[in-house]
């Protein structure tokens, strides 16, 4: 099983893509939104709006949660971020630009999220779908349990 290295997508490339998406919809660029986008793309991992808001308000305390929500909605609609709805938590966002498909392992004790990519699992899923005459558009595989560190702590 190959662990996926969380590569930082370039904030500049994301901003450029977003700018053309925004312009094509007749929306205006705003300084606050730019700051949120910049902050988001210089982070890695799976961020909740609250976590992102913390980082954003450290740079500009006038930005509110509603603006962060709206910006993440735009980024998701533009295909630059993916919204993840893991069990028992808030919606989390991860960068989708230049990211390959991957699945997640979620620790129910410490909340850490690990990414993985497994070709055999992908193939098996495709075969199952085929056997059902089903055309898959996308899938999410989430494995819940205890990470290594939490298992060791509990011993
Ligand atoms: Zn853990
Ligand atoms: Zn992920």
Q: In sequence order, what are the residues at sequence separation of 6 or more whose Cβ sits closer than 8 angstroms to the Cβ of residue 55?
A: 39, 43
Name the pTM for this structure.
0.83
Cα distance between residue 116 and residue 131, in whole Å: 25
- The closest ligand to the CA of 149 turns out to be 1
* pLDDT value of residue 100: 85
Which residues in 1-125 belong to E strands, given as ranges? 2-3, 47-48, 81-84, 92-95, 103-107, 113-117
Cα distance between residue 14 and residue 38, in whole Å: 9
Q: 37 C-alpha vs ligand 2 centroid, how far in Å?
A: 18
- The closest ligand to the CA of 92 turns out to be 2
Sequence spans of domains, the chain: 8-95, 103-154
Chain-centre distance for alpha carbon 70: 15
What are the pLDDT tens digits along the chain (155 aa)? 556 655 555 778 888 888 888 888 888 778 999 999 999 999 889 999 999 999 999 999 999 999 999 999 999 999 999 999 999 889 999 999 878 889 999 999 999 999 999 999 999 999 999 999 999 999 999 999 999 999 999 88
Q: 89 C-alpha vs ligand 2 centroid, how far in Å?
A: 15
* Listed residues: CB within 5 A of ion ligand 2: 94, 115
Q: 8 C-alpha vs ligand 2 centroid, how far in Å?
A: 12
* pLDDT value of residue 98: 79
CATH number of 103-154: 3.30.1490.190
* pLDDT value of residue 3: 64
| Buried residues in 28-62 as b, exposed as e (16+ CB within 10 A) | eeeebbebbbebbbebeebbebebbbeebeeeeee
- The closest ligand to the CA of 5 turns out to be 2
* pLDDT value of residue 85: 94
Q: 45 C-alpha vs ligand 2 centroid, how far in Å?
A: 7
- The closest ligand to the CA of 103 turns out to be 2
* pLDDT value of residue 57: 97
Fold of 8-95: Arc Repressor Mutant, subunit A (1.10.10)
């Amino acid at each position: 099983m190959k662990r996926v290295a969380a590569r930082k997508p370039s904030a500049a490339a994301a901003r450029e893509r977003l700018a053309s998406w925004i312009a094509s919809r007749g929306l205006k660029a705003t300084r606050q939104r730019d700051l949120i986008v910049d902050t988001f793309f210089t982070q890695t991992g799976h961020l909740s709006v609250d976590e992102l808001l913390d980082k954003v308000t450290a740079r500009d305390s006038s930005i509110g949660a509603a603006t962060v929500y709206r910006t993440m909605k735009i980024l998701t609609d533009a295909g630059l971020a993916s919204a993840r709805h893991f069990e028992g938590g808030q919606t989390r966002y991860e960068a989708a630009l230049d990211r390959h498909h991957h699945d997640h392992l979620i620790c129910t004790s410490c909340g850490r999220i690990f990414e993985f990519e497994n070709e055999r699992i992908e193939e098996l899923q495709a075969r199952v779908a085929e056997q059902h005459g089903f055309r898959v558009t996308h899938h999410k595989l989430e494995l819940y349990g205890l990470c290594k560190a939490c298992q060791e702590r509990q011993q």
